[in-house]
A and B are shown apart, each in its own frame.
Chain A
Amino acid sequence: MFLLVGLLAACGGPRSTGSVVRVDGSSTAYPLMEAVAEEFMRAQAGQVRVTVGVSGTGGGFKKFCRGDIDVAAASRPMAKEEASLCAANGVRFIELPLAYDAITVVVHPANTWAEELSVEQLRRLWEPGAQGALLRWRQLDPDFPDLPIRLYGAGADSGTFDYFTEAVVGKARSSRGDYTASEDDNLLVTGVAGDPGALGFFGFAYYEENATRLKAVRIRQDAVHPGVPPSRESVMQGRYRPLSRQLLLYVNMDHARDQVAIAEWVHFALLNAEPLIDEVHNIPLDALAYRRAYRDFDAALKAADELAMARVDSVPSSHGTDVR
C-alpha cells in the first residue's frame, strides 16, 4: 500500500512542473504553516506541492542544516551550535520574522485561585529542583488550596520548551522532568481541560482555540509590573513579558535560488501572513515588519544569485558541490 503510494508519488513528481516546497519544524507554527501551504497550493492550482512536517523547532533545524528541507519554521532563534552545523554543511539561509506567539500558561476553568502567577513562582514550579518536591498547590502559595498539582508542558524537542525554560528558569532546557511532556499540543490541551489540578503551557493559538475549556493565567513579570494576560494587544505592545516571542522562518537560499516555487512560497507567506495569522489564532507583526522582511528576502535572493554566478565564472567545477 505504502509502496504503491510511493510509486505514484514518484511518477507524479517529475511530470508536474516539478516543484515541492518542504517545510518542517515548530509545532507552535504548524497551524500557520499548514494554512499558508493550503492557500498557496490553491493559488498555484496544484502546480506546486507543499509538505509541512512537525518535528519541533530543534528537529526542524537538524533537517534544515542537513539540507533535507527548504524552510524551517521555528519558535526560537537558531542556536549557535545549530548555526555552525549549517555552516559546516554549506547551508546558506536567511531568518525572517513571521508572527508573534505568547507562550500561554493555562489552568482548568474550575481553578479559581491561580488567576495570576509571577515569573518567580513559575520558576520555583518548573526548575529542576522542584522535581519530586513541589507537588501541591499550597507549596506555591500558602493561600492556594492543598491539592496535588499536575503539570503538562511542551516536550524536550520543542522550541516552546527551550524558550519557556530559558525565560522562566533562566537556562534553556533546564526543567523538572516529572510532568506530562509532549510535542503534541492537542494532547496537552486535553490533559489540562480534564484535570482540575492541572497547570500547563503551550502556544497561544492552542489556547485561543480551546478558550472555553481552559483558563489563561496572568503573568507578573516582577514586583513592579502588574500581571498581564496573554492577548493580541499585550503582545503587540510588548507588555506580555517574558513569555512572548517571534515565530521565525529560516529559508535555504540556495534552494530558493534553484527553485522558483520556494521563493514564491516565501513571498506568498509574507504577503498573506496577516489574514491567515488571524484565522489560526497567532498574533501578527506590524505591517512594516512584513514589508521589511520581504525586502530582506529579495536582497538575499539577489545576493545568492550573484554569488552563484561569480562562482560559476571563477571555479566552474565547484558549482555542483555548492548547491547542496
Chain B
Amino acid sequence: MSASRGKHHDRPAFLARRRRRERWAESALGAAASVVVLIALGILLTLLSESLPFFRVVGLWDFLFDTEWTPLFERAHFGILPLLSATLLTGLLAMLVAVPLGVLTAVWLSEFASMRTREWAKPALELLSSIPTVVFGYFALLFVTPLLQQLIPGLPTFNLLAPSLVIGLMIVPYVSSLSEDALRAVPMDLREAAFSMGAGRWRAALWVVLPAAASGVTASAVLALSRALGETMVVAIAAGQQARLVFDPRDGAATLTTYIAQVAMGDVPRHSLAYQSLFAVGLSLFLLTLAFNVLGYWIRHRFGELSR
C-alpha cells in the first residue's frame, strides 16, 4: 500500500480516477440501500391506499371488535379478532417452545461447548432454518398431529397445537443464534469474577452471564416472535382454514396469513370488498410485526446501554 502510494502520489489523474471510482461505488451502495427502503415504503403505501376503500365500507369499530370473519359469504362479517386470536395464540405457543429451547441452546453453545463442538453444532442448528416451511407444514399435519392425537383424545386433524409446536421448533435457530452472539459479547471479566466468588459454571452462566446479556436475548425472542406471527405455510396446511375466535389450541383456525394465502390463491374479483379485505388484513399483520420489531429494537438499545 505505502509502496504503491509512493509510486502514484504524483499522478493526480490516478487519484481523480480513484476518487471517481469510490464515489461511484458509494452511490451504487447507497442506491441499493435506498431501493430496499423505497420498496418497504411502497408496500406500506399500497397497503394503506388499497385498504382505505375497505375501511370506508366496513367501519373501524366493526373491524376491530366484531367477533366473526366471513367476508366471502352471504352474512359477511369483517371482524379481525378471529384471525388475530389465532395469530397471537400461535405466536405465544411457538414462543413457549422456542425461547426455552433456544436460550438453553445458546447458553450451552457459548458457555459449555468446546470450540470443536460449536463449529459443527451451530451450522447444524442453522440448517433447521433452511428447511422449506412447506415441509414443516406437512411434518405438523402428518407426523405431529397423529402423535398428539394419541395423547389428546378427540383432537381434530386441523388444530393450532401441532403447527404452533412445529413453528416453535422452526424458529429455535433465530433465538439461539442471536442469543449466543449476545452471550459471547459479555466481557470475560464478569465470568472470571463469578468464578473467583466460587460460582460453578452453571451458576456463572445462568446467574451472571445470561442476565448481563438479557437485552440481546430478549431482542432475539421478539424477532423470533414476529417471524412466528408472519409464518404462513405451516398454519395454512396444518391448522385448517376456518376463521374462528380461538382460545383453545386444540381447535383449528385461520391466522392472518392463512386468510391472505387462501384468498390470494382463489379467484376473488378485483375491487370487490373481499379483495380489499386482503389489504386490510395485510396491513394489520404489517402493523403487528412492525410493533414487535420496534419493541425488539428498543429493548436492544435501551437495555443494551444499561448493561454495559
Contacts and interface: CB of A to CB of B under 8 A. Distances in A.
Interface string B253-280: 0000000001001111000000000000
Contact of A150 (B149, B156, B241, B265): B156
A191 interface: yes
A49 interface: no
A179 B243 CA distance: 8
Nearest to B142: A190
Contacts of B157: 190-191, 193-195
A156 B241 contact: no
Contact of B74 (A128, A182, A196, A198): A128
A177 B77 contact: yes
A124 interface: no
B240 A157 contact: no
B240 A177 contact: no
Interface in A224-251: none
Contacts of B73: 128, 131, 156, 175-177
A210 interface: no
A58 B141 CA distance: 30
Contact of B75 (A156, A176, A191, A198): A176
Given A190-B157, A198-B156, A183 B72 contact: no
B70 A178 contact: yes
Nearest to A60: B267
Given A194-B157, A195-B157, A56 B266 contact: yes
A118 to B, nearest CB: 22
A101 to B, nearest CB: 21
Given A56-B266, A59-B266, A196-B154, A181 B145 contact: no
A275 B190 CA distance: 79
Given A181-B241, A195-B156, A196-B154, A173 B74 contact: yes
Interface in A139-178: 150, 155-157, 173-178
B244 interface: yes
Contact of A190 (B141, B149, B267): B141
Contacts of B266: 56, 59, 155-157, 183
B145 A180 contact: no
B145 A175 contact: no
B68 interface: yes
A62 B75 contact: no
A181 B242 contact: yes
Contacts of A155: 72, 262, 266
| Interface of A (DSSP majority class) | loop
A222 B70 CA distance: 31
Contacts of A178: 68, 70, 242-244
A182 B262 CA distance: 8
B252 interface: yes
B70 to A, nearest CB: 3
B158 interface: yes
Interface SS of chain B: loop
A132 interface: yes
Interface string B104-147: 00000000000000000000000000000000000001000100
A26 interface: no
A238 to B, nearest CB: 30
**Residue among B74, B75, B145, B149 having the largest count of chain A Cβ atoms under 10 Å:** B74
A195 B186 CA distance: 51
B247 to A, nearest CB: 15
Given A177-B72, A187-B241, A58 B262 contact: no
A55 interface: yes
A109 interface: no
A114 B197 CA distance: 72
Contacts of B252: 180, 191
A177 B268 CA distance: 16
Contacts of A62: 267
Nearest to B267: A59
Given A131-B70, A173-B74, A179 B242 contact: yes
Contacts of A128: 73-75
A197 interface: yes
B74 A177 contact: yes
Nearest to A158: B266
Interface in B23-41: none
B102 to A, nearest CB: 31
B72 A156 contact: yes
A182 B244 contact: no
Interface string A44-65: 0000000000011011001000
Interface string B206-230: 0000000000000000000000000
A49 to B, nearest CB: 23
Interface in B167-226: none
A187 B254 CA distance: 14
Contacts of A182: 241, 262
Contacts of A193: 157
Lowest 5 A-B CB distances belong to which pairs? A194-B157, A177-B70, A177-B73, A59-B267, A195-B156
Given A178-B70, A191-B156, A198-B156, 5 more contacts: A131-B73, A132-B68, A157-B268, A177-B73, A177-B77
Interface of B: 68, 70, 72-77, 141, 145, 149, 154, 156-158, 240-244, 252, 262, 265-268
8 contacts: A56-B266, A62-B267, A131-B68, A157-B267, A176-B70, A180-B240, A191-B158, A198-B156
